[in-house]
């Protein structure tokens, strides 16, 4: 059976092709109610479905945005995507989602593919390894908004959590509980501004309370290999930490596994405060104190900024900081 075309709808309704086109695009200013009803009836009878590609070519817009994420299964990422999707639904936009597994090559291919698909804009949690490619597309007029991590501080449009303030408030809370040996467990932060901001917040709180910075309390974790030094070994040193302050959900969950396997009891043996909430953490035997971000709102704000840039003749660069919250549970004790 041949696919119904716009010209078939026009013939059935007894109107011109341009009148049907105006109806489909919602331009009813000079259209009588009878004409609208005839077109609507013809569309229904012929089971006509507009060709979105043809319409996008005429309008120079696809009403579609691309979203590139590092790990689609992550709690933070899934909530961000929900915020993006909800905002898009209310704005009649569609999503194309690409997962990179933090692979710069996959990320570059995703950017190229979305550009070829003529998306109206892109929201990206980038690896930081495709800056030149992203800037080239942005300079050529493709609106791009970053989220999750700020890498070099040169991102033109970005929505991120206020990492420095959050880390400061969390560290100060630990200090107020009497902790002075606060082990800051992080990924390498020299090339990622957002990670460095967390460290600076930690350092700011130590400085405010006249606690000397001890470099031996800065411990590193790698996505592929885990902890550089065993947390258990570190707890058995002469001057161990009284609390671990972890900077990523994956670090927190791996640390919990290591401590549990060694029968280390939280908070009796060591306290723990983590960055990013753990799903269902309130049901743990010892609920974990965390800094929680607002990924849903980050998704909404990123989409709002992107659509504003898509629809603006003179888009402006903007950096928006979303506050975090400290959720106090039972994993941090007074010392």
Sheet holding 64-69, edge to edge: 94-99, 64-69, 121-124, 144-147, 157-161, 318-322
Query: Which residues are 321's β-sheet partners?
Result: 160
Q: Do domains 60-160+295-322 and 163-293 have the same CATH topology?
A: yes
Q: How far apart are CA 148 and CA 10, in angstroms?
A: 49
Alpha carbon 163 to its chain centroid, in Å, reads 14
**Residue 70 confidence (pLDDT) above 60:** yes
The label of the residue with tokens 């290591």 reads 258
Lowest mean pLDDT among 18-22, 166-170, 279-283: 279-283
Structure tokens of 172?
A: 């100060």
| pLDDT tens, residue by residue, 212-224 | 999 999 999 998 8
| Residue 59 scores a pLDDT above 60 | no
Place 191 in a pLDDT band, splitting at 50, 70 and 90. Answer: confident
Which pLDDT tens digit goes with each residue over 223-278? Answer: 889 999 999 999 999 999 999 999 999 999 999 999 999 999 999 999 999 999 88
> DSSP H helical segments within the chain, as ranges?
6-13, 17-24, 33-46, 52-59, 75-90, 104-116, 131-139, 163-176, 193-208, 231-235, 249-261, 295-311
Structure tokens at 254: 């791996």
- CA-based nearest residue to 242, from 275, 212, 218, 272: 272
State how far the Cα of 128 lies from the Cα of 249, in Å rounded to an integer: 20
The answer on pLDDT for 62 being more than 90 is: no
pTM, full prediction: 0.81
Give the Cα separation of 51 and 55 in Å (integer). 6
- Are 302 and 181 in contact by the 8 Å Cβ rule? The answer is no
What class is the 60-160+295-322 domain?
Answer: alpha beta
Q: What residue ranges do the domains of the chain occupy?
A: 6-50, 60-160+295-322, 163-293
Determine the Cα–Cα distance for residues 201 and 245; give it in Å rounded to an integer.
12
| Structure token pair of residue 104 | 């710069």
Name which of 190, 191, 173 is nearest 182 in CA terms: 173
The CATH topology of domain 163-293 is Rossmann fold (3.40.50)
Alpha-carbon span 271 to 334, nearest angstrom: 9
Is-contact 117 64, C-beta < 8 A? yes
The dihedral built from the CA positions of residue 295, 301, 304 and 305, taken in this order, carries a sign that is negative
pLDDT of residue 253: 92
Residues 83-141 have pLDDT tens digits of 999 999 998 899 999 999 989 999 999 999 999 888 999 999 999 999 999 999 999 99
Model confidence band, residue 66 (pLDDT cutoffs 50, 70, 90): very high
């Amino acid at each position: 059976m041949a696919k119904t075309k716009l010209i078939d709808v026009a013939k059935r309704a007894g109107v011109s092709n341009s009148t049907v086109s105006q109806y489909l695009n919602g331009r009813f200013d000079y259209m009588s109610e009878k004409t609208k009803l005839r077109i609507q009836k013809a569309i229904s009878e012929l089971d006509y479905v507009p060709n979105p590609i043809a319409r996008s070519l005429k309008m120079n817009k696809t009403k579609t945005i691309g979203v590139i994420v590092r790990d689609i299964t992550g709690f933070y990422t899934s909530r961000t995507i929900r915020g993006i999707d909800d905002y898009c639904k209310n704005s009649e936009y569609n999503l194309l989602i690409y997962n990179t597994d933090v692979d710069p090559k996959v990320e570059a291919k995703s950017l190229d593919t979305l550009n070829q698909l003529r998306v109206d804009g892109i929201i990206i949690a980038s690896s930081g390894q495709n800056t030149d490619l992203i800037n080239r597309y942005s300079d050529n007029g493709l609106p791009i908004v970053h989220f999750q991590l700020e890498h070099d501080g040169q991102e033109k449009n970005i929505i991120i959590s206020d990492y420095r303030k959050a880390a400061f408030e969390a560290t100060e809370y630990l200090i107020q509980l009497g902790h002075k040996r606060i082990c800051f467990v992080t990924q390498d932060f020299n090339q990622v501004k957002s990670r460095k901001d967390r460290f600076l917040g930690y350092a700011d709180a130590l400085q405010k309370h006249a606690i000397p910075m001890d470099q031996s309390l800065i411990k590193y974790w790698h996505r592929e290999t885990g902890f550089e030094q065993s947390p258990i070994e570190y707890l058995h040193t002469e001057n161990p930490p009284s609390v671990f302050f972890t900077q990523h959900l994956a670090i927190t969950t791996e640390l919990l596994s290591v401590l549990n396997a060694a029968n280390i009891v939280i908070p009796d043996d060591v306290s723990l405060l983590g960055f990013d909430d753990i799903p269902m953490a309130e049901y743990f035997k010892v609920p974990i104190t965390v800094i929680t971000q607002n990924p849903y709102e980050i998704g909404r704000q990123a989409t709002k900024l992107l659509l504003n840039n898509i629809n603006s003749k003179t888009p402006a660069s903007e950096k928006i900081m979303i506050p975090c919250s400290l959720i106090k549970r039972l994993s941090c004790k007074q010392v």
